[in-house]
Amino acid sequence: MSVVLRPSEALNLWHDVTLGLVRDGGHDFSARQITILLTVYLETPPHTVRGLAAKLGVTKPVITRALDTMGALELVSRRRDEADRRNVIIQRTVKGALFVEKIGDLIVARAKDLPR
Amino acid sequence: MSVVLRPSEALNLWHDVTLGLVRDGGHDFSARQITILLTVYLETPPHTVRGLAAKLGVTKPVITRALDTMGALELVSRRRDEADRRNVIIQRTVKGALFVEKIGDLIVARAKDLPR
DNA sequence: TCCGATTGTTACGGAGGCGTTATAGTCTGA
DNA sequence: TCAGACTATAACGCCTCCGTAACAATCGGA
């Protein structure tokens, strides 16, 4: 199965949702930051800096800096992997889960209001 | 009518598309930049700095700077409004139209591949 | 036990965005 | 006509991010 969407509907949906994020979100996240956040909250753990860097096709410092930013906002947290102390495990937070949930609700609402 | 989407589907779609933009897009645009770009290409002209600032709920210099950046990439262009020379009209470009079209195709493709 | 490989972070100079404020150009109506 | 309103942009100091390179900590096999 799949979600059927025309290009014009797709673009209108994207526009409406990003506008919602800009107007009400408070933060102005980049595509990289959003991708990291959603990856951590949607894909099965564990998540490491190296794994995220490979998945996004960026360097490790990019991930470290994004985690610094989103960690300061308490949207994610970090923990040493005790099994292999070179690794850092990126963990979810209550605040981050609520934020992601809000984004999901926003997309669903804008999709529902989409004229077709 | 409307597009029916569950929260988990919505988030997975958002994740897949932003990941595609990060991996293949080359640029790392912010939500503000994407919103400006899509507004210019989806809503009926004319578009002015003041109008975009009001719509996004940000100050005018934010719009000016975003237009500087996207103008350098030739995704939009600017022209003085001859009827009222205080205004600047933001115009579409061939390069920008192709870019927006690519985003639309990406969303449609990821929606089609979405498991449900 | 080391020595190479691996992981994440920090340091660095540069680039660009931020909000606020100031400014140049343009319009409009008293 | 001209003073005030309005438009977009420039200037300012601050902050964050960039890519590259160096780094400390840790692991694992010879």
Q: Which chain B residues are Cβ-neighbours of A3 within 8 angstroms?
A: 3, 5, 9, 13, 111-112, 114, 116
Find residues whose C-beta atom lies within 7 angstroms of strand C: A 28, 48-51, 53, 60-61, 63-65, 67-68, 78, 86-88; B 30, 32, 58-59, 61-62, 65-66, 68-69, 83-86
Q: Which CATH number fits domain B7-112: 1.10.10.10, 3.30.1310.10, 3.30.160.100, 3.30.465.10?
A: 1.10.10.10
Q: Contacts from B41-47 at CB under 8 Å and sequence distance 24+?
A: B41/A11, B41/B92, B41/B96, B41/B97, B41/B100, B42/A11, B42/A12, B42/A15, B45/B89, B45/B91, B46/B81, B46/B87, B46/B89, B46/B90, B47/B89, B47/B90
Among the listed residues A73, A115, A33, the one whose alpha carbon sits nearest the alpha carbon of residue B34: A33
Residue A3 and residue A24: Cα distance in Å, rounded?
27
Tell me, what's the pLDDT at A116?
Answer: 60
What is the least distance, in Å, from the CA of A79 to any CA of chain B? 24
SS3 of B114, please? coil
Structure tokens at B89: 């009209």
Residue B73 and residue B77: Cα distance in Å, rounded?
10
Structure tokens at B38: 């899509």
Pick the residue of A12, A16, A30, A92 with the most B CBs within 10 A to test the interface with B by mutation.
A30
Per the DSSP assignment, residues forming a β-bridge with B63 are none
CB–CB contact B56 A9 (8 Å): no
CB–CB contact A2 B56 (8 Å): no
User: How do the domains of chain A map onto residue ranges?
Assistant: 7-112
Residue B9 and residue B111: Cα distance in Å, rounded?
9
Residue B24 and residue B18: Cα distance in Å, rounded?
10
Q: Give the CA A83 to C1' D21 distance in Å.
A: 29
Tell me, what's the pLDDT at B24?
Answer: 84
Tell me, what's the pLDDT at A115?
Answer: 79
**Does residue B49 contact residue B63 with C-beta atoms inside 8 Å?**
yes
Tell me, what's the pLDDT at A1?
Answer: 47
Phi and psi torsions of A77, nearest 5°: -140, 165
Tell me, what's the pLDDT at B2?
Answer: 64
Regions of chain A with pLDDT less than 50: 1
Regions of chain B with pLDDT less than 50: 1
Phi and psi torsions of A43, nearest 5°: -95, 160
Tell me, what's the pLDDT at B4?
Answer: 75
**Does residue A82 contact residue A46 with C-beta atoms inside 8 Å?**
no
